[in-house]
Amino acid sequence: MKNFFDNSLIMKVILITAIIYLPGTTISESKYTQSLFTPVNTLSDSNKTKFPEHYFRFPLKPGVDLNVLTHIVSLDNVENGFVYAFANEEQWIQINKLRLEIEELAHPSSLYDHEMRSTHTIMDWDSYPTYAAYRNMMWQFASSYPDICRLDTIGYSVQNRLILVLKISDNVSENEDEPEFFYTSSMHGDETVGYILLLRLADYLLSQYGQNTTEGMRATRIINELEIWVNPLANPDGTYRLGGDTTVNNATRFNANNKDLNRNFPDRISDTNNVLTGREAETQAMMRFASKRNISMSANFHGGTRVVNYPWDNGAPSGQYSACPDDAWFIESSLSYSLTNPDLMSGSFINGITNGCEWYAVFGGRQDWIYRWHGGRETTIELWDVKNPPGSVLPQRWTNNKESLLAYMEQTLKGIRGIVTDAVTSQPVRAKIFIRNFSGSYVNTDSFTGDYHCLVLPGTYGVIFTAPGYVSDTVNNVTVEDSIAIRLNHVMNRIPTNITSAEAGMPEDLRLAQNYPNPFNPTTIISYQLSMINYVSLNVYDALGKEVEALVNEKQNPGTYQIEFDGSGLPGGVYFYRLTAGELTETKSMMLLK
């Protein structure tokens, strides 16, 4: 986990604000000893492994600031008046310097001696595969269904294990005008329920494709209309490194560098540089994968409780609601997973869903990064109270999640979709699409096909199309129903670079340079040249065409000028700057990152 504050300052803050607890306070048994079933095959004391991470809890009392603590350790749950967390050795030293009443607990992965399968056939789905068997299963999916399944790799882990992904689609080798959907699991390596569920989901979809049954026709429609990506195991080092690739016993939350991968992504508040440098190998691989895709919707599976967690994960004090621009949509899509799910509906969260920050604040999480930097809609789904349960409970987890998994994918087929092309060449345009009055929310077109998929609730909208070098357009009164997505193709016109004598009867005497740097945050330099005395105006406009700042408004002599533009008070997005000198006008676009 990246620490974004000075550690000594953090300790002073908590030492001042934390409650000094009275000795002798009684703390109830760990929630993991109160699970819904009694452990049968527990690891014996002689087989216990020393974990490179600590699992612990402390009481949540007035003065304990989780907004600060979340930057020191990896918070895991807030439940029944206690905070549960993980720490690597460095974090463990830091947290123990604070006046918190810490109780170290048995690591969740130390509770069971798992039955493992070394072959790729585990069709009873009541055990875990070895790492080699997992690789063989993924290969077998692709080789058995080559027309609709392709095996690919997202990258490599720290210890050079493959981070594998399946692409499932009707034309699997093509990039089609279809929304891309992504399921991924176990970036916390000790949370293994989703690992098996996604293997079983891949098997289900592939085996049902083309079958003339109700289930078969549904699976066929999903595969025909989506480009589906399935990554069952995002942190293979965490799952297998202590078991020597042969067992998920003693799986760890952190990766091989003892870092929490779900605290390692760029963050809109604490780590605004969307760069690979300094991040873990698994994080870099996932960032590259997402940048090459145009993922419309995704879910990231975890374990330890039962809930669908949606953005934002921060932006308000921990424990308070932090609504993102598409809050209403996220609530409805989260309910599409939870309402038919007996596990989630019998958990401790109302309707099986929660706003991330209202549960507890997280910085560097993946779902916020996907939403902020790629316009994708991702949730974090906690599947089961026990992180790494015995295989005997896995078949029931599939039964309880099967409908949820399918219904959630089908949400991607709603909203507004289309293709954006150039008015002259008819080639795809790499554009951003905004919905009026949803500030900060956008989707991208695919750079190869030009298709976009905007997920919105039923209603009537104004759709704004923007692209560098093109005139922004707004299409009003687009009506969306709660059914298949409405198609809205759009043609964009390039912005004239200047007005020449042929166009306006005037000599070409105006040059406007591209701002630098671009994209920028929060300042950039705009340069221009004049060849004659003229009355000059330089104005900045937002994507809706509203003027946000007048930078120049005066008569100027011939020469070169540089003007600094400061976007500190503006939301991130595409802006346009227009230079006018007499009757000559030139416009360019720029991108403000926040």
Active site residues: 382
**Distance separating alpha carbons of residues 527 and 141, to the nearest angstrom:** 56
Which residue matches tokens 């058995």? 144
**Distance separating alpha carbons of residues 90 and 104, to the nearest angstrom:** 15
Neighbours of 370 (CB within 10 A): 24
Which residue matches tokens 């691989």? 285
Neighbours of 533 (CB within 10 A): 12
Q: At what angle do helices 394-410 and 214-225 cross, to 10 degrees?
A: 50
Neighbours of 498 (CB within 10 A): 17
Question: Per-residue DSSP letters for 111-171?
Answer: S----EE-SS--TT--SEE-HHHHHHHHHHHHHH-TTTEEEEEEEE-TT--EEEEEEE-TT
**Distance separating alpha carbons of residues 497 and 283, to the nearest angstrom:** 40
The rounded radius of gyration (Å) of the Cα atoms in the chain is: 26
Neighbours of 389 (CB within 10 A): 23
Residue pair 484/507 in contact (Cβ under 8 Å)? The answer is: no
Residue pair 186/235 in contact (Cβ under 8 Å)? The answer is: yes
Phi, psi of 591 (to 5 degrees): -120, 120
Tokens linked to 530: 């004049």
Q: What does the buried/exposed string (b/e) look like for 161-187 if buried means 16 or more CB atoms within 10 Å of the residue's CB? A: bbbbbbbbbbebeebbbbbbbbbbbbb
Nearest to 370 by CA among 257, 262, 518: 262
Residue pair 398/467 in contact (Cβ under 8 Å)? The answer is: no
Neighbours of 349 (CB within 10 A): 18
Phi, psi of 256 (to 5 degrees): -70, -20
**Distance separating alpha carbons of residues 90 and 261, to the nearest angstrom:** 16
Residue pair 478/557 in contact (Cβ under 8 Å)? The answer is: no
Residue pair 481/457 in contact (Cβ under 8 Å)? The answer is: no
Query: In this structure, are strands 486-487 and 377-382 parallel, antiparallel, or unpaired?
Result: unpaired
Q: For residue 24, with 0-12 CB atoms within 10 Å meaning exposed, 13-18 middle and 19 or more buried, which class applies? A: exposed
Q: At what angle do helices 281-292 and 366-374 cross, to 10 degrees?
A: 30
User: Does residue 462 sit in helix, strand or coil?
Assistant: strand
- Length of the chain counted residue by residue: 594
Neighbours of 293 (CB within 10 A): 18
